[in-house]
Amino acid sequence: MLKLDSMNTKLRSRLCLFLLILSALVTAQAQIEKVVIANTAEAHPLPHFWEHMFGSGRAILSLRESYRNDLRQTKQVTGMQYVRFHAIFHDEVGVYDEDAQGHPVFNFSYVDQIYDGLLANGVRPFVELSFMPKKLASKDALHAFWYKQNVSPPRDYAKWDAMITQFAQHLVDRYGLDEVSQWYFEVWNEPNIDFWVGEPKQATYFDLYDHTARAIKAVNAKLRVGGPSTAQAAWADVFIRHCAENKVPVDFVSSHVYGNDKAEDVFGTHEQIPRDRMVCRAVAKVHEQIKASPMPKLPLIWSEFNASYANEPDVTDAAYMGPWLADTIRQCDGLVDEMSYWTFSDVFEEQGVVKQPFYGGYGLIAEDGIPKPAFNAFQLLHWLGDERLAVSSNDVLATRRQDGSLVIAAWNLTGPGAPGAAKTIQLQFKDVQIDKVRITRVDKDHGDVHPAYQAMGSPRYPTPDQIEKLRAASRIPPGEVQAVQGSSLEIKIPGEGLVLIEVKPVS
């Protein structure tokens, strides 16, 4: 009897072990996301709306060699065509003065150097018309930014109109109408918050917009002007209606939002909208407002976006930005004409002089020209094709290039701050024969400079030798060529990881 009980116990133990193993295998299988990549799937154009335009700090910074180096470095790996910055009318640029009799005196010397520098590097200006010159300001309303721009309305609109007219005419005279008509002129920056002290805010901004747009168009009707350049996706519907009812020129609508903006400010609700959903929900809101407006075909230019408006090192400096950006592209596709990432460079002084290389700055490139993971993510996503194929997954972008190659981005959007568990995606190729793929990664072990920076003690002021080592450590390792057996490929992606798979079909 005892012997039989012992045998039953052993059998039960073995059965439990077998069931545990079977359960683990089933669980592991369930955790593998299967995604069909069909060469004959429904497809539509994918213009690279996320990489044509980038933001940067303020106008005068563009005269620095460090800024121009970062500009060139960004342009090398993206489709960068335009750059936007604040404060072309700040007194440090010297555009506006008055003589002893109070007559306007204009000086475009620094303006020319600023725009010459952009054009020499193959980038056009997206001209934000801001802020108020001191001698033209109606009050001494200095913003909290370190460079203390004046955010008041003009005290004399005739003088403001004259400045806008002289400025635009000078640009046309210097660069030619064919060139300047390809620029954009955006009136002010975020007038719905503390960048504008006119009261009431909306009505006084509309006055500014009306004067500015009409002055721009009086120089030449081909010049493109728009607004309202608001924070938190505000005012677009009333702005369009105002322009339509008052016959005020408008060529595009612009607005801003960040991943950590609050639902109360953007939608007037008390939802908890995740960081990875906020941007494209806001874009969709304005997209729908334009469609329902008297001018439903106005282009939408999202002239600032990022995952955070604060300095959060675990966000903007981290590998998290790779999957966040890829997923933002997936969601915003078809809703927007252009999106301008804020910013391409940490040559940036809104909070003052940069104090250390990695502090959660907005830039793709840290101080001393050191690329962050976000820079490498833009480089990977630049390689996507210009046609998007339908897939069933929210973690995959499948695209096709003109030569027939397939390019797939896949990601694991966890965090920020805690990378989270790895996951596996199984790509099942259909209607296409493949024998090998090239796989390139951006994650904590690929294209992330932070381990090297921490290994050298996280110096506040890296030496020239350390800077060179950090630049080298920031580079993406070359893509790995992998043979494919059959028609499927399993990709393991760590938390906060982005993978790009390039597939050249077998002839």
User: What is the structure's pLDDT at 29?
Assistant: 44
Mean pLDDT across 335-364: 96
Task: Examine the pLDDT at 190 and tell me if it is beyond 70.
Answer: yes
pLDDT-above-70 percentage for the chain: 94
User: What is the structure's pLDDT at 424?
Assistant: 96
User: What is the structure's pLDDT at 30?
Assistant: 45
Task: Examine the pLDDT at 235 and tell me if it is beyond 80.
Answer: yes
CA gyration radius, the chain: 26
User: What is the structure's pLDDT at 505?
Assistant: 83
Q: What are the backbone dihedrals phi and psi of residue 102, each rounded to the nearest 5 degrees, phi first?
A: 85, 10
The least confident of 21-25, 239-243, 289-293, 308-312 is 21-25
User: What is the structure's pLDDT at 242?
Assistant: 98
Each residue of 343-374: b (16+ CB within 10 Å) or e? bbbbbbebeeebeebbbebbbbbbbbbbbbbb
The answer to whether 347 and 64 are in contact (CB under 8 A) is yes
Band (pLDDT 50/70/90 cuts) for residue 3 is very low
The least confident of 96-100, 381-385, 434-438 is 434-438
Task: Examine the pLDDT at 11 and tell me if it is beyond 80.
Answer: no
Task: Examine the pLDDT at 25 and tell me if it is beyond 50.
Answer: no
User: What is the structure's pLDDT at 433?
Assistant: 87
Residue 190 appears among annotated catalytic residues: yes
User: What is the structure's pLDDT at 17?
Assistant: 52
Task: Examine the pLDDT at 151 and tell me if it is beyond 50.
Answer: yes
User: What is the structure's pLDDT at 133?
Assistant: 98
User: What is the structure's pLDDT at 420?
Assistant: 87
Question: Does the bond joining 357 to the residue before it have cis omega, within 30 degrees of 0?
Answer: no
Q: With the C-alpha atoms ordered 65, 66, 72, 75, is the resulting torsion angle positive or negative?
A: negative
The least confident of 27-36, 42-51, 222-231, 241-250 is 27-36
Strand order in the sheet with 32-38: 32-38, 423-430, 488-493
User: What is the structure's pLDDT at 20?
Assistant: 52
Task: Examine the pLDDT at 12 and tell me if it is beyond 80.
Answer: no
Round the average pLDDT of the chain to a whole number and report it.
93
User: What is the structure's pLDDT at 418?
Assistant: 81
The active-site residue, picked from 128, 190, 338, 496, is 190
Cα–Cα–Cα angle for 420, 422, 423, rounded to 5 degrees: 125
pLDDT in tens, 482-498: 888 888 999 999 999 99
The answer to whether 56 and 347 are in contact (CB under 8 A) is yes
pLDDT in tens, 96-128: 999 999 999 999 999 999 999 999 999 999 999
The answer to whether 303 and 256 are in contact (CB under 8 A) is yes
Cα–Cα–Cα angle for 476, 341, 277, rounded to 5 degrees: 95
Task: Examine the pLDDT at 24 and tell me if it is beyond 90.
Answer: no
Distance CA 351, CA 361 (A): 10
The active-site residue, picked from 304, 312, 338, 367, is 304
Distance CA 34, CA 447 (A): 27
Q: What are the backbone dihedrals phi and psi of residue 146, each rounded to the nearest 5 degrees, phi first?
A: -55, -35
Band (pLDDT 50/70/90 cuts) for residue 4 is very low
User: What is the structure's pLDDT at 486?
Assistant: 81
Task: Examine the pLDDT at 5 and tell me if it is beyond 80.
Answer: no
Task: Examine the pLDDT at 23 and tell me if it is beyond 70.
Answer: no
Band (pLDDT 50/70/90 cuts) for residue 419 is confident
Of the two residues 13 and 399, the one the predictor is more confident about is: 399
Task: Examine the pLDDT at 28 and tell me if it is beyond 80.
Answer: no
> Which residue from 488, 485, 506, 500 is spatially nearest to 407, judged by alpha carbons?
500
Each residue of 11-36: b (16+ CB within 10 Å) or e? eeeeeeeeeeeeeeeeeeeeeebebb
Residue 179 appears among annotated catalytic residues: no
Task: Examine the pLDDT at 19 and tell me if it is beyond 70.
Answer: no
Question: Does the bond joining 27 to the residue before it have cis omega, within 30 degrees of 0?
Answer: no
Distance CA 245, CA 216 (A): 19
Band (pLDDT 50/70/90 cuts) for residue 357 is very high
User: What is the structure's pLDDT at 506?
Assistant: 81
pLDDT-above-90 percentage for the chain: 89
User: What is the structure's pLDDT at 9?
Assistant: 55
Distance CA 410, CA 323 (A): 8
Q: Is the pTM of this model over 0.85?
A: yes
Parallel/antiparallel/unpaired status of strands 423-430 and 252-258: unpaired
Please report, for residues 45, 165, 208, 398, the alpha-carbon distance to residue 106 in angstroms, rounded to integers and kept in the order given: 45, 11, 20, 52
Strand ranges for 72-148 from DSSP E: 82-86, 96-98, 104-106, 124-129
Task: Examine the pLDDT at 399 and tell me if it is beyond 60.
Answer: yes
DSSP H or E stretch at residue 482: strand 480-483
The token duo for 38 is 């069909």
Band (pLDDT 50/70/90 cuts) for residue 351 is very high
Q: What are the backbone dihedrals phi and psi of residue 67, each rounded to the nearest 5 degrees, phi first?
A: -65, -45
Strand ranges for 121-264 from DSSP E: 124-129, 184-187, 225-230, 252-258
